[in-house]
């Protein structure tokens, strides 16, 4: 009689679940688009977690960021880093344009992910990067997406240019002394008085730093809720709009998200008598002339003090000391002095180290370095020169220190 033996079924091997993530993006952080982003996140979270063969690896989302470059997209970069770390097997995304509008960035990223075994699925185009024709289709469609983005950019630039040509202000930005009321730029008198004072003080010979310190000491607060800064004073002194004119296209975009000042490379548009002026055109032109003259003097000062620049330090507080121009009271003869930047910016209470004449530095350097024309040797050998109230300290690049006291 035949002997029958039962062969038990082998336990079926459990296939590991794929770690699946999704990427979503909107280019502007408006309420409507943020709602769209929230809907995308919810959709992908439910889609991934409802698939028993998938393990949820998260949804990465960038808001208010263009798709023309991957560099600024922190969540995109984090997703790629997690792919590199083996945390993701599959990336889901709505479309090519959501993933990247730049063909080079798109293909570089997809090829990198493919090399490390990560699959990207584009839902709208029904493309899987692991399929045979996936990359070919991706290249073709990505080119269309990039062209569409470039076309949109050209259309926007055309609209802005037409606004300039018709004298229409493209963006309404408040400035010290003015506020926008609809399409009208209206003087804010309390701030306008400060603008007039800045111009008057500069014409009277005060430096930008001096004007800034006086306004800060008086408690004047600028547009951003902070004391007006030195660059802020310079912007006031160089802004032609205070004369009642509007100059359009002072900056232009030369690459995605990159701007530069227009120095004549592109056409500019000026509207005379656009709004009520705070200062006269003559006052503005006089200030520009004075700025050019002072800049020329500063250049000469820098050349005569070149070997000291970046090497002279206040021994009392540790701040750098910079050369300043002064004039003798009697004969108005020009001389240079080194002043602690801390004291210059914040006053005597911040640092009481007095200014130090360059002529005294010349004598000290000649004595310590053993030659009258010491500049080249100073540059070659001295690491730092510290100025204290009662002495100087020379620190050499070889580690030596010499104290000098007259």
* Same domain assignment for residues 233 and 206: yes
Cβ neighbours of residue 288 closer than 8 Å, sequence gap 6 or more: 238
Range in 179-188, 286-295, 297-306 the model is least confident about: 297-306
| pLDDT of residue 101 exceeding 80 | no
| Domain-ending residue, one of 133, 151, 169 | 151
Which of 107, 134, 151 is the C-terminal boundary of a domain?
151
Domain membership flag for residue 9 = no
pLDDT of residue 97: 78
In a shared domain, residues 189 and 104? no
Which one-letter DSSP state was computed for residue 17?
P
Nearest to 351 by CA among 362, 365, 340: 340
Does the pLDDT at position 152 exceed 60? no
**Which of 153-157, 294-298, 390-394 is predicted most confidently?**
390-394
162: in domain: no
Q: Are residues 186 and 144 in the same domain?
A: no
- Give domain status of residue 122, yes or no: yes
Query: In this structure, are 310 and 358 located in the same domain?
Result: yes
Residues 316, 379 within the same domain: yes
Average pLDDT over residues 189-203: 92
pLDDT at 298: 67
* pLDDT of residue 29 exceeding 60: no
pLDDT tens digit string along 232-253?
A: 899 999 988 899 887 766 666 6
Mean pLDDT score of the chain, rounded to an integer? 82
Residue 249: per-residue pLDDT:
62
> What CATH number has the domain bearing residue 101?
3.40.50.1390
Least confident of 84-88, 113-117, 132-136, 183-187: 132-136
Give, as one character, the DSSP assignment of residue 221: B
> Is there a domain that residue 245 lies in?
yes
Residues 96 and 191 in one domain: no
Does residue 156 lie within any of the structural domains?
Answer: no
Going by pLDDT thresholds of 50, 70 and 90, the confidence category of residue 139 is low
Q: Which residue from 290, 270, 272 is spatially nearest to 281, judged by alpha carbons?
A: 272
Count of domains observed in the chain: 3
Question: Which range (8-12, 13-17, 346-350) has the least confidence?
Answer: 8-12
Domain containing residue 249: CATH number: 3.90.1750.20
Residue 258 placed within a domain:
yes
- 292, 313, 339 — which closes off a domain? 292
pLDDT at 206: 82
Tell whether 24 and 144 lie within a shared domain: yes
Domain that holds residue 109: 18-151
In a domain, 161, yes or no: no
| 152-178 average pLDDT score | 65
Are 22 and 126 part of one and the same domain?
yes
Query: 68 near 76, Cβ under 8 Å?
Result: no
Q: For position 155, what pLDDT does the model report?
A: 59
CA–CA distance from 284 to each of 137, 174, 234, 247 (Å)? 59, 20, 12, 14
User: Do the Cβ atoms of 185 and 275 come closer than 8 Å?
Assistant: yes
Q: Confirm whether 173 is domain-assigned.
A: no
- The pLDDT, as a whole number, for residue 389 is 93
- The secondary structure of the chain in percent helix, strand, coil, rounded to multiples of 5, reads 40, 20, 35
pTM over 0.75: no
Q: Which of 105-114, 187-196, 388-397 has the lowest mean pLDDT?
A: 105-114
């Amino acid at each position: 009689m035949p002997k029958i033996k039962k062969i038990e079924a082998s336990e079926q091997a459990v296939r590991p679940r794929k770690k699946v993530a999704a990427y979503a993006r909107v280019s502007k952080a408006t309420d409507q688009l943020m709602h769209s982003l929230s809907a995308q996140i919810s959709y992908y979270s439910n889609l991934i977690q409802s698939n028993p063969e998938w393990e949820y690896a998260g949804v990465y989302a960038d808001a208010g960021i263009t798709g023309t470059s991957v560099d600024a997209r922190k969540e995109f970069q984090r997703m790629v880093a997690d792919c590199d770390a083996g945390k993701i097997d599959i990336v889901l995304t709505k479309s090519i344009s959501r993933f990247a509008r730049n063909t080079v960035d798109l293909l570089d990223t997809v090829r990198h992910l493919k090399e490390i075994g990560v699959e990207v699925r584009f839902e709208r185009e029904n493309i899987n990067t692991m399929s045979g024709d996936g990359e070919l289709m991706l290249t073709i469609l990505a080119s269309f997406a990039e062209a569409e983005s470039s076309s949109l950019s050209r259309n926007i630039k055309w609209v802005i240019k037409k606004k300039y040509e018709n004298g229409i202000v493209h963006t309404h930005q408040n400035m010290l002394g003015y506020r926008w009321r609809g399409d009208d730029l209206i003087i804010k008198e309390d701030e306008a008085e400060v603008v007039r004072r800045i111009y008057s003080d500069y014409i009277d010979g005060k430096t930008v730093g001096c004007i800034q310190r006086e306004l800060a000491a008086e408690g004047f607060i600028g547009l951003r809720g902070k004391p007006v800064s030195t660059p802020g004073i310079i912007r006031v002194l160089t802004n032609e709009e205070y004369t009642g004119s509007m100059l359009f296209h002072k900056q232009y975009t030369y690459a995605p998200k990159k701007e530069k000042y227009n120095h004549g490379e592109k056409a500019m548009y000026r509207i005379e008598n656009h709004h009520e002026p705070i200062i006269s055109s003559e006052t503005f032109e006089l200030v520009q002339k004075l700025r050019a003259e002072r800049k020329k003097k500063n250049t000469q000062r820098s050349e005569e003090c070149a070997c000291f620049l970046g090497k002279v330090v206040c021994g009392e507080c540790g701040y750098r000391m910079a050369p300043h121009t002064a004039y003798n009271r009697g004969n108005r003869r020009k001389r240079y002095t080194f002043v602690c930047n801390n004291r210059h910016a914040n006053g005597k209470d911040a640092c009481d180290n007095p200014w130090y004449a360059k002529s005294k530095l010349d004598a000290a350097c000649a004595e310590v370095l053993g030659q009258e024309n010491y500049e080249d040797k100073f540059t070659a050998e001295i690491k730092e020169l510290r100025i204290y109230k009662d002495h100087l300290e020379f620190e050499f690049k070889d580690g030596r220190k010499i104290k000098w006291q007259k």
